[in-house]
Amino acid sequence: MSIANRILLGFVAVIALVIALGALGLAQIGEVRSETASIVNRDMAFIRQLAEVQSAQHALEAATEADFADHAMGVMGPTPDGASQDWRRTEAVAVQSLDQAIAQATNFQAVAVSSDRARAWGQISQSLTRARAILVDLRQRDLVAFQAMARGDIAAGQAARDALAAPRAAFRQEMERAAGTLDQAIGLGQQRVERVYQQSRLFNLVGLILAVGIAMAVAYLIRKSIITPLNSFMAFVERVGQGDLTRHTELTGSDEIGRLGTTLNVMVDGLRDLARQNREATENLNAATAEIRASSQEQAASVEEQLAAVQETAATVDEITHSGAQIGKRAQEVIASAQATAQTSNEGLRAVDETAGAMDSIRDQAEAVAENIVALSEKTQAIGDIISTVNDISERSHLLALNAAIEAAAAGENGRSFSVVASEMKLLADQAKDATNQVRSILGDIQRGINSSVMLTEEAVKRVAAGKERTDTTQRTITEITGRVQESVQTFQQIVASTNQQQLGIEQVMGALQNIRQASQQTAVGTRQLEEAAGNLASLSQQLLGLAERYRV
């Protein structure tokens, strides 16, 4: 089957499915319409029938009440039996309407669309049947009331009238029960319509999904019938593009895809012949190129080895030259550093000598200070002795003044002037004693300071002596360093002289190697150019051979 016929067949199948779904939807809509019409026409007509029965019952009650009122007030109509006859006609209409309603309810129960509605119609029929029985009972009771009124027995009429209240209430209750059940039946009908509507929606939705699924399946089958051969062709073309010319496609026939497969097989046969001829020519070119390249590589290898040896020797000599220059430069720097070190050592030696002299002077001065402090301490002790003597004198003067005061007191009036002198002497003796105590306290502080100064001076003398010893050691060390630095300067000067002579010889060798290297480089350049040309030719032949080998024939 051709591709056009496949597409047409799939389109026709989808259209048929859509038509079937439309017919199903119309059928569902018809069912909903039928159910709705049943509720509107049948149920509403039954409601009117019940209304007529209730209206007739109200008329019966009104007629009975009117007749009772007329007889009670003594008002008689033109025909005494007229009210009774009207009542009988109205009662006959009510019974007839009620019988029709019972028959309709029984019929509706038989043709109900659901069990719930059938049950509701059965309940309505039962309620109406009970109402009819009550209505028949009311007929007998009303007739009794009418007969009593006709006889003029108001009391009996009133009693019969009162007896009508309970049956009338029971009748109304049964009618109301029937009306309520009818409302429930109407609600059940509406629910039925809603269920039918929901089922219709569900059927339409399922049908739509089914239609979409079938349409997708048809589209998939059509696509598969077209895409699968095309994918096979694509895989075949990819293999041909990758160089596989050994196969043919098996998809041949009279349709469009079959004709395409036949054309591809013819194309592959032509490519196979072309690839075979190209491979033979490329193999011949590759063999000739390999011979040329082998000879040029041998020559290039020998030239490269020679150039490598010359470059290695030149590099070694260059490194030696560079190392010699660095050695000379480093030796000059070391000589300069050693000379600076020697000069610094001499200056340090002079500074150490000056430090040693200063340490000696400090030691002498410290010893002189210690001697002066010792002498001062001795003089302080002498002052203390003098203060002790003065203290003794003040105590004796105090005692003498005390004795004089006693004598003056004994002399009475004659010794008063002597008493004044004695008190003055006592006052002077007390002041002298206080002064000696203060001087003794000050001398004690001075003595303690002198003792501390003596100890500090002795410690300073000891530290100066230790510093003098270390200074002497430093002086000897710097003297040795200065001598060794001088020897190092002389040694490095000899090394620099030898290095300069060696550098001159190396520069001459380097010049000769530069000439040899230039000649080798020129030879290597020519060889590389020849090898490059041979390599290009070999690369071209390899590319052609690769292109030829890409196709498997």
Chain segment 352-361, per-residue pLDDT in tens: 677 767 767 7
Rounded (10°) CA dihedral 272, 278, 281, 285 = -140
Please check whether residues 208 and 279 belong to one and the same domain.
no
Q: Does residue 244 sit within a domain? A: no
Report d(CA 549, CA 187) in Å as an integer: 88
Q: Does residue 61 sit within a domain? A: yes
φ, ψ for residue 286, nearest 5 deg: -65, -35
Please check whether residues 230 and 278 belong to one and the same domain.
no
Please check whether residues 320 and 201 belong to one and the same domain.
no
Please check whether residues 215 and 273 belong to one and the same domain.
no
Q: Which domain holds residue 8?
A: 3-234
Please check whether residues 219 and 306 belong to one and the same domain.
no
User: What type of residue sits at position 536?
Assistant: N
For 197-211, what is the mean pLDDT?
Answer: 79
Please check whether residues 81 and 182 belong to one and the same domain.
yes
**C-alpha radius of gyration, the chain, whole number:** 76
Q: Does residue 245 sit within a domain? A: no
**pLDDT tens sequence across 391-417:** 777 777 767 767 767 776 777 776 666
Please check whether residues 305 and 418 belong to one and the same domain.
yes
Higher pLDDT, 170 or 344: 170
Residue 79 — very low, low, confident or very high, per pLDDT cuts 50/70/90?
very low
The angle that helices 44-73 and 165-241 make with each other, rounded to 10 degrees, is 170
The angle that helices 256-411 and 165-241 make with each other, rounded to 10 degrees, is 100
Report d(CA 502, CA 321) in Å as an integer: 9
Please check whether residues 228 and 274 belong to one and the same domain.
no
Please check whether residues 277 and 336 belong to one and the same domain.
yes
249: left (phi over 0), alpha (psi -120 to 50) or beta: beta
Please check whether residues 75 and 218 belong to one and the same domain.
yes
pLDDT at 23 over 60: yes
pTM check: above 0.85: no
Q: Does residue 288 sit within a domain? A: yes
For 518-529, what is the mean pLDDT?
Answer: 69
Q: Does residue 207 sit within a domain? A: yes
For 156-170, what is the mean pLDDT?
Answer: 76
Instruction: Give a three-class secondary structure readout of 137-154.
Output: HHHHHHHHHHHHHHHCCH
Q: Does residue 433 sit within a domain? A: yes
Q: Which 8-state DSSP code applies to residue 111?
A: T
Q: Which of 187, 216, 234 is the last residue of a domain?
A: 234
User: What type of residue sits at position 114?
Assistant: S
CATH at 541: 1.10.287.950
Q: Which residues contact 310 (CB under 8 A, 6 or more apart)?
A: 513, 516, 517, 520
Q: Does residue 397 sit within a domain? A: yes
pLDDT at 202: 82
Neighbouring-strand partners of residue 552: 244
pLDDT at 307 over 60: yes
Give the chain's mean pLDDT.
Answer: 72
Q: Does residue 374 sit within a domain? A: yes
Tally the domains of the chain: 2
pLDDT at 2: 61
551: left (phi over 0), alpha (psi -120 to 50) or beta: beta
φ, ψ for residue 245, nearest 5 deg: -110, 20
Report d(CA 425, CA 419) in Å as an integer: 10
Report d(CA 340, CA 348) in Å as an integer: 12
Please check whether residues 229 and 275 belong to one and the same domain.
no
CATH at 83: 1.20.58
pLDDT at 437 over 50: yes
Residue 170 — very low, low, confident or very high, per pLDDT cuts 50/70/90?
confident
Tokens read off for 98: 């009620």
Q: To which residue do tokens 């009508």 refer?
A: 164
Please check whether residues 21 and 156 belong to one and the same domain.
yes
Residue 71 — very low, low, confident or very high, per pLDDT cuts 50/70/90?
low
φ, ψ for residue 244, nearest 5 deg: -90, 105
Q: Which of 181, 212, 234 is the last residue of a domain?
A: 234
**pLDDT tens sequence across 104-126:** 888 877 877 677 778 888 888 88
**Closest residue by Cα to residue 251 from 259, 240, 239:** 259
Report d(CA 249, CA 206) in Å as an integer: 44
Give the C-alpha distances (Å, rounded to integers) separating 311 from 298, 318, 323, 529, 552: 20, 10, 18, 20, 50
Tokens read off for 423: 């008190």
Q: Which of 181, 208, 234 is the last residue of a domain?
A: 234
